[in-house]
Structure 1
Amino acid sequence: MCWHSVGVIALLTFTLFPAYWMVSTAVDPHASARGGNLLPSGVSWEHVQLVWSRAGFGRYLMNSAIVAALTVTVSSLVALLAAVAVARFQFRCRTTVMVMILIAQMIPLEALVIPLFLQARSLHMLNSLLGLSIVYLAFSLPFAVWQLRGFVAAIPREVEEAAYVDGCSWIQMFRQILLPLVAPGLVATSVFSFITAWNEFIFALTFLQDQQKYTVAIGLQKFFGENTADWGSIMAASTLLTMPVVLFFLAVQHRMVSGLSAGAVKG
């Protein structure tokens, strides 16, 4: 076995071990007494059933799915249109707009908790999944615009001009030529937006007071007591929290490559 294979195996072991520990602890009937044992004492779905049914984690998953879907859909559309405008059209203060977007990306999220809380309260958007989605949208847009601007700028203008020569309108060119070519960047920004909306904790805890509207990040803390923690339930809830992210990435990852050549004009 060559050293490259050894290095890959070591890297995979180091990377995947936390996931293995999480899943194996979730199905271990004696998770609290597991200690440092690498193998679980058995396999049981008791913790998963407890988290899903009695703890109401299914409701939290639904709330997070709603917030993530709104954030991904709106941020992808707005960021794509903004990236096209910045990369293709000439207008006053274009550089200033991009610098302001970059500055917004650099501000620590913790510094925005109080200002956004006060603004949401004045707009009567506290304890609302829509209000939380708008906040996540503000976080996702700067990165998405910068990311997609690079993809749009990398597309030769001659490709668009050839579409116009063939009789396409701007809408047809956008749908049939530009959109397929920027699909890899759109998928990448969608993954980032989804992970941001799915895993975020501080703003969800600050904005939501109704337990029926909690997201999964807040619901996870229910299994931590003042002096103890139910590790079996914590790991079961963490597994349920992780699975949608993994499934979402698996569903879209093939488009990150397939969209690179889609829509190109053949010579």
Structure 2
Amino acid sequence: MNQYKAKQFFIDILIYLFLVLFTLAVIYPILNVVSISLRPADKLLSTSLRIIPENATLSSYIQLFKSTPFLRWLFNSTFVSFVVMLTGVTLASTAGYALSRFSFWGKKAVMIGILITQMFPATMLLLPLYIMLIKLHLLNSYLGLIIVYTSTALPFCVWQMKGYYDTIPVSLEEAARIDGCNQFQAFYKVVFPLALPALVITALFSFMSAWAEYVVAAQILQEPELYTLAIGLKQFESSMATEWGLYAAGSLIVSIPAVLLFLILSKYLISGLTLGSVKG
């Protein structure tokens, strides 16, 4: 028994050691960016290992808000991301419910098509989407960018919602129908609240697909006043020099909304991962 406890203790030590090393490997780049943002005169390299450098200053953050259109970029990204999130949740929740509850001609083909679209990255679809936006006169507009982001996020969201709806017993809707609800009321009042964890995952995925995306936005948006955060931060880089202090400060601020959104929705994410695996 003592030998077993000693072996288990040794295994636990190895596990915790691995977790500590992995955590340090993940945190180090973030701490390095924090250090760069606090260095004076945009000094990128330093021989010091201190997180807070000597002569630390907040001048990069002050300059970021006072001398650059950072707040405009922040507003643009927030607007586009929230519209994509709301559109993705609305379409994925209804489309997933239809695929889960109804039988119709072509249903299998639709589901296979959704899976196939996941095989192709958004950059591969950029050329046909670009031509489509030109013909619709939506190039260099928020609407065109929202359409592209929503179309690339929807396949995963629809499939994920469909799988979650499958775990909700149909008998609950049948009971609601007996009580006088129509199909839509049964969905809205019974199924929709039960699917909240899956809806949160859909919302978070849709938001993140638009929040920090660069390649698609750089091709669609051409006017500086329409730039999102990803394109705006790229303006700090030039062929002759890069403003590393502004770059680092902007990168840290950009990550804050995503982290806060994840922390706020974390309890729903955990329940979604657990409840979604149980067949009702």
Select which of 88, 103, 112 maps to 1:75: 88
TM-score normalised per structure 1: 0.91
Matched residue, 1:110: 123
Pairs within 5 Å for 1:1-267: 2-39=13-50, 40-257=53-270
Matched residue, 1:265: none
AA partner of residue 11 (structure 1): F
Deviation at 1:162, TM superposition (A): 2.8
- Judged with a 3 Å threshold, the aligned counterparts in structure 2 of structure 1 residues 257 and 111 are, in CA distance, closer, same or farther, namely closer
Deviation at 1:173, TM superposition (A): 2.5
Would the aligned equivalents of 1:208 and 1:214 in 2 still touch at CA under 8 Å?
A: yes
Would the aligned equivalents of 1:68 and 1:198 in 2 still touch at CA under 8 Å?
A: yes
Would the aligned equivalents of 2:73 and 2:229 in 1 still touch at CA under 8 Å?
A: yes
- 1:175-218 CA-to-partner distances (Å, cap 9, x unmatched) read 33211221111111211111110111111111111100000010
- 1:85-116 CA-to-partner distances (Å, cap 9, x unmatched) read 00100100100011111222222322222211
TM-score normalised per structure 2: 0.87
Would the aligned equivalents of 1:32 and 1:230 in 2 still touch at CA under 8 Å?
A: no
Structure 2 unmatched runs, 5+: 1-11, 276-280
Deviation at 1:36, TM superposition (A): 4.3
Cα distance in structure 1, aligned partners of 2:149 and 2:44: 39
SS of 2:88's partner is helix
The sequence identity of aligned pairs, in percent, is: 35
Would the aligned equivalents of 1:105 and 1:142 in 2 still touch at CA under 8 Å?
A: yes
- Judged with a 3 Å threshold, the aligned counterparts in structure 2 of structure 1 residues 112 and 245 are, in CA distance, closer, same or farther, namely same
Deviation at 1:261, TM superposition (A): 9.9
SS of 1:254's partner is helix
Q: Flag the structure with larger Rg.
A: 2
AA partner of residue 25 (structure 1): I
- Judged with a 3 Å threshold, the aligned counterparts in structure 2 of structure 1 residues 95 and 153 are, in CA distance, closer, same or farther, namely same
How many residues get paired? 262
Structure 1 unmatched runs, 5+: 263-267
